[in-house]
Structure formats: structure tokens, C-alpha cells
Amino acid sequence: MDGLSGKLYLICAFSLAGTSVIAARFVTGKLGTFTITAVSLFFALVFLLPLCRKQLVRYLRLMSLRNFLFLSLQALCGIFLFRMFLLWGLHYTGSGEAGILTGATPAITALLAMIVLREPVSGRKLAGILCTVGGVLIIQGVLTPGKGLSLEHIGGNLLILCAAACESAFNTLSRISAVKAAADLKEPASPLAQTAIVSAIALILCLIPAAFEHPLKELAGIGMLEWTALLWYGVFVTALAFICWYSGIKRCGAFTAAAYSGMMPLTSLLLATAVLGESAGYQQWLGGLLVILGMFLIGTEGL
């Protein structure tokens, strides 16, 4: 039962995370990268702190220095660097394409699970990794006759792939942290408290670079749509998604998490076409299907 609930939590977490590309599109170019992240994290903390005040105090008292360092690394990779690369990349590539490219996350997470966590790899998992890589190459045009890498979008696409690598590092660190915390705390860690701590650390990391983006002047010039996007980014993409993530990763292994992280590109692609009206050609859909196939192959043994 724990395994099933863990998978449901992961589906919710990555589906919510997939909306980050869409929410970011409404504020990219209107606000600075670090301003967007800082404001969304502020909204996340405003939402979280009333819900977890007692749990947070207890968690901080029990938390070891090692747990704190792991949470700090998760904040750096999963929020600060991930959003930095994602928001920069969206300046140069479309939301649908960016969403699909985050589909590299399952393959990178699977590789890290093998190398860092020393989890064994089967033929199905290897096939899933190859499907994901092939899907990304098709999106880039490498495997399509008569087409090559798009010079116009290559920089943005590489930034999105860097974001996917940061997300994978976060996934791996979270799994290590979940195992270590269970041993150190002698009781289940609170997903609410973990989310609040990670959000607070990431907010502190964003404050200095955000100050150089003239945030007050830029925030004064945005409208209700942009504020709604920032609120969504904070409450749903950050707070609720991370609560679901921490609830799921303590119940599931790294390969299962890698499989379900494929929900990010699927959600992003569908919303980019439905909400933003972006067109997706056969090349993107074919690449997206391979990425999703890779998601299922990687996680087959854990399902």
C-alpha cells in the first residue's frame, strides 16, 4: 500500500512541476530570473508556514548537520539552479519544446541511480535510457533526414537540458536524504517541514542576485495575470509539488522516481498546446512519445 501511495504522490508532484514551464512563460521577459524565483518562494512560504509551524520546530530540533547540508544541496539543485536554467532557456526556446526536453530527467536520474546509488540496471532500464536520449535527439532534429541542430534554439535547449540535469541531481539527493533522515531522526520526516526548509534556503540564495534586477520597479509594472502566475508558481509548483515529492520519494526507489519524472514533459507539452496555443509538429510529438516510452521502460520493474 505504501508503494502505491508513493507512486500516486510522485505522479501529482511531477504533474504539478510540469506546469512550471507554462507559469514561467507568463513572466519570462517581464521580470528577472531571480526575481521570479524569489517572489514565488515567498508565496510558497506564506502558504506553508501556517500549516507546518509545529512540525517545522520539531524537525529543526531533531535535524542533524548532515540532514541540513543535504536539504541545502536540494535547494541549490532542485530550485535555485533548476529555475535559473529553465527561465534563461525559455528566452530562447518554446514552452512545448522546453517541456519535452525536461524529459531527459528520467534518463539522467537513472544514470545517477546506477553510478551514485549503485542500483542495478536491467535491459528494460537501459532501453528506457536509450529511448529518452533518442527522443531528445529527434526533438533537436539530429535524427531527421535533411535537418540538423537549430542554431536559433540550441543555446536555450542546452539550458533546459542543464535544468533537467539539476532536477535529476535533486531527485538523487532527495532519495539519499530520505534514507539518511530515517536513520538519523528515528521517525518519519515531515514533508511539510522539509518543503519549508528547502524553500527558505532557496529564497536566501535568490535574494542577492534578485537585488541586481531592480525587482521593486519590475514588480510594480506587472498585471494581474503575472501575479497569478507567480502565485501558482509558489503555491502549486513549489509548495504542493514538493510536499507530494517528499511524501513519494520516502516510499519509492530512485528508478521509480525516474520513471514518473516523465510526467513533467508530458504535462508541459499538453499545456503548451492547450493553454498557450503553441504548435507541436510531428517531430516534437514523436520525440515526446519516445521520452514517455522511456519513462515507462525505466520504471517497469518498480511498477
Q: Distance between CA 172 and CA 152 in Å, rounded? A: 32
pLDDT given at position 40: 95
Q: What is the 3-state secondary structure (H, E, C) of the chain?
A: CHHHHHHHHHHHHHHHHHCHHHHHHCCECCECHHHHHHHHHHHHHHHHHHHHHHHHHHHHHHCCHHHHHHHHHHHHHHHHHHHHHHHHHCCCCCHHHHHHHCCHHHHHHHHHHHHCCCCCCCHHHHHHHHHHHHHHHHHHCCCCCCCCCCCCCHHHHHHHHHHHHHHHHHHHHHHHHHHHHHHHHCCCCCHHHHHHHHHHHHHHHHHHHHHCCCHHHHHHCCCHHHHHHHHHHHHHHHHHHHHHHHHHHCCCCHHHHHHHCCHHHHHHHHHHHHCCCCCCCHHHHHHHHHHHHHHHHHHHHHC
pLDDT given at position 41: 95
Q: Is the pLDDT of residue 196 over 60?
A: yes
Tens of pLDDT along 160-188? 888 888 888 888 888 777 766 655 655 66
Q: Is the pLDDT of residue 157 over 70?
A: yes
Indicate the pLDDT class of residue 149, thresholds 50, 70 and 90: very low
C-alpha cell at 212: 541586481
18-44 average pLDDT score: 90
C-alpha cell at 67: 540532514
Distance of CA 30 to the CA centre of its chain: 22
Tens of pLDDT along 95-129? 666 766 776 777 787 778 777 767 666 777 778 77
Tens of pLDDT along 63-95? 888 888 989 999 999 899 988 898 888 777 776
Indicate the pLDDT class of residue 227, thresholds 50, 70 and 90: very high
pLDDT given at position 123: 76
Global pTM reads: 0.81
The residue assigned the cell 529564497 is 203
247-256 average pLDDT score: 79
| Comparison of pLDDT for 45 and 2, the residue scoring more | 45
**Summary mean pLDDT of the chain:** 81
